[in-house]
Structure formats: C-alpha cells, structure tokens
Structure 1
C-alpha cells in the first residue's frame, strides 16, 4: 500500500473508532469520512461496506482481548481469569454499541473477516472456562457458547436506558453466578 493510502487507512480507523464509540455501530460513514478529512470515495475504497469498516475496527480489539486472555490463563487464578475475560468481552461490546450481533454472526460465518478473531476469543474463553471447571470454581453446566451469549446479553443491558444504571451490578451478579 502506498504511504498516503496507508495514512488514510490508519486515519479512517482512528476516526471510525471515535465515531462508533460515540454513535454505535450505525454511525454515519459520511461523518467518518468528513472527520478523517477524506472523501467518501476514499473511505469506500478502503472499506466497501459498513461491515468491512466495523470488522477492521473490531479485529484489532478482539485480537488484543484474546492476547490478554492468553496471558490471564497463566497469570491469574482460574475464576479470576474467567471473570476478567468475561468483563473484558462485555466492555468491548459496550464500547461499540450495536456490535454484539456482528460478533455473534461472525462465529457462524467462516467467510467473515472477523471469523478467525472471534473464534480465537471464543476458544480462549472456553479454555478459561474449562480451567475453572477443573478447579471446581465455575458452574459445570455452562459452556463456551453460553459465555459468548451472556456477553451479548450483558452488553445489551448498557444500551437500555432503563437498565444502564444497573448494568455494572447485573454484570457482577451474572459473573457471580458463573463462578460463585
């Protein structure tokens, strides 16, 4: 990629992170281009669809969260590692309102640009859960798919005006039910 094209790509991702954090997954692509000081055509050359932009934006964060979880696997007690992973996943979903469905769909679509990243995050969550099962500090009737579903459900709470003030409490409550 040419240097100017790389700068535009990096700038678009930087601005997209801000805009999506402010406005959620349905943020205006026109606003992203305007704030990045590039034309809409430049945005679409790099990211032909909204999903492509969100996937590029999320892949970096999902990969970072996965790497942190791999470190947790050896540096923290099983229950603490599992709950830290859970809270990190919920925080990522909350940071970018409206992306839970995209992440869940990516698990079912090997053609998705997010598939590998989401599978890695799912797999490390499942390993952390298995480690907690082995240590006897997690409910034996929960599996990795249940955890991923709970992440989406818990992130949804933050987007609901009636529940948002209680969302942290409810995340703690559910976390306590997983690893009592």
Structure 2
C-alpha cells in the first residue's frame, strides 16, 4: 500500500496563503471574486492557485471546510438534543447565517448536491440530509405541516440569507413569521 507523502513546506504555505486570501476576497467581493486577484494577494502565480484548487468550487469548498464541519456538527446536536420545533428554528437560522457569509454563497448552496464531481457536492448533500432529518422530526412532532417540503425550507433559508445581508433583524422576523405559518395548514 503506497504511503501518502506530506506536501512540501512551501506548497503547504502557499495553500494556506491562498486560503487566507480567498477568505478575504470572498468576504469583500463574494464567491465570484477574481481568482487572479486572490493569487496575487497570496503572492503566488495563478498557476499555483490552480495547482492547489483546479476549480473555483474546490477553493470555495476548502475555505468553507471548517465552517461546514461546525455547521453540520451543530445540526446533529440540534437533532439529538433539542425539541423538534426548536431544532428546526435553530437549523434554519444557522443555515441562513452561514449562507450569508459571502455574497453568492446562498446560490451555490441552493443548487443542492448537483454535479457529483463538484467539490461542494458532499457538503450540499450533507446539508440537504440534515435539513430533511430535522424537518421530518418536526413533522412527526406536529411542529411542521406535512405539506411543507424540504425545498420550501431551503427556499426560506436562502431568502433569509439574502435578507440577512440587508438587515439581520428583518431576516430573523422573516424566519419566525414563515415558520409560524408552516406549522398549520392555511385554508381559504
């Protein structure tokens, strides 16, 4: 069985500088930030960026790795330890705040698992699975109407993420009002 070699120290430093520069660029310019500018800010050639991260999605996924691990751990904890209604509300809030981290991130995550070759595929699938399990628990407990789909919740998360960029308070109000409306069927 071949052993995996550790990356050279200079390659590791380049990757770390690229991730730090990408974090800054994504916060400032959104997920469509110029890859050339990211490479320049890291002090490397754009070819070095592509050597570490062959696609934009690979760079975004690497920047989000720690944040996603924390988000998914939080979702598992909510599912295991919180009453279903509170778990649902907290999960929707957490996903909305997460998706508001960078302009354009909500759209990438909303695309769902999509292309299995995408570096974001696994994380999108994990987010969809957690949303499904938390929503199913809320439905069983009567805290979410049976007609509300997982896609409805994802739409709410993305709308709240966009709103969060404008007003955090308005985003919270949107989540609270919408989830209240999703508890019981609205009849005409």
Q: TM-score, normalised by structure 2?
A: 0.82
Measured at CA, do residues 179 and 96 of structure 1 come closer, stay the same or move farther in structure 2, by a change above 3 Å? farther
CA RMSD after TM alignment: 2.3
Counterpart-to-counterpart distance in 2, 1:3 and 1:175: 49
- Once the 2 structures are TM-superposed, how far is the Cα of residue 179 of structure 1 from its aligned partner? 4.8
- Once the 2 structures are TM-superposed, how far is the Cα of residue 46 of structure 1 from its aligned partner? 1.1
Residues 29-108 of structure 1 mapped to structure 2, 5 A cutoff = 29-108=35-114
Deviation string, structure 1 residues 50-71 (Cα, Å, up to 9, x no partner) = 2321232234423321111001
Deviation string, structure 1 residues 142-167 (Cα, Å, up to 9, x no partner) = 122222222223223345x6x77733
Q: Which moved more, 1:166-175 or 1:17-26?
A: 166-175
Partner SS, residue 111 of structure 2: helix
Q: Which moved more, 1:3-12 or 1:91-100?
A: 3-12
Measured at CA, do residues 157 and 36 of structure 1 come closer, stay the same or move farther in structure 2, by a change above 3 Å? same
Measured at CA, do residues 66 and 5 of structure 1 come closer, stay the same or move farther in structure 2, by a change above 3 Å? same
Q: Could you tell me which residue of structure 2 aligns to residue 169 of structure 1?
A: 173
**Does residue 132 of the first structure (1) align with residue 133 of the second (2)?**
no
Contact 1:63–1:121 at 8 Å: present in 2 too? Answer: no
Q: TM-score, normalised by structure 1?
A: 0.85
Which has the greater radius of gyration?
Answer: 2
Segments of 5+ residues of structure 2 without an aligned counterpart are 1-6
Counterpart-to-counterpart distance in 1, 2:169 and 2:89: 21
Counterpart-to-counterpart distance in 2, 1:94 and 1:85: 14
**Does residue 9 of the first structure (1) align with residue 37 of the second (2)?**
no
Contact 2:163–2:171 at 8 Å: present in 1 too? Answer: yes
Contact 1:16–1:32 at 8 Å: present in 2 too? Answer: yes
Contact 1:78–1:128 at 8 Å: present in 2 too? Answer: yes
Counterpart-to-counterpart distance in 2, 1:139 and 1:17: 39
Q: Which moved more, 1:140-149 or 1:170-179?
A: 170-179
**Does residue 25 of the first structure (1) align with residue 31 of the second (2)?**
yes
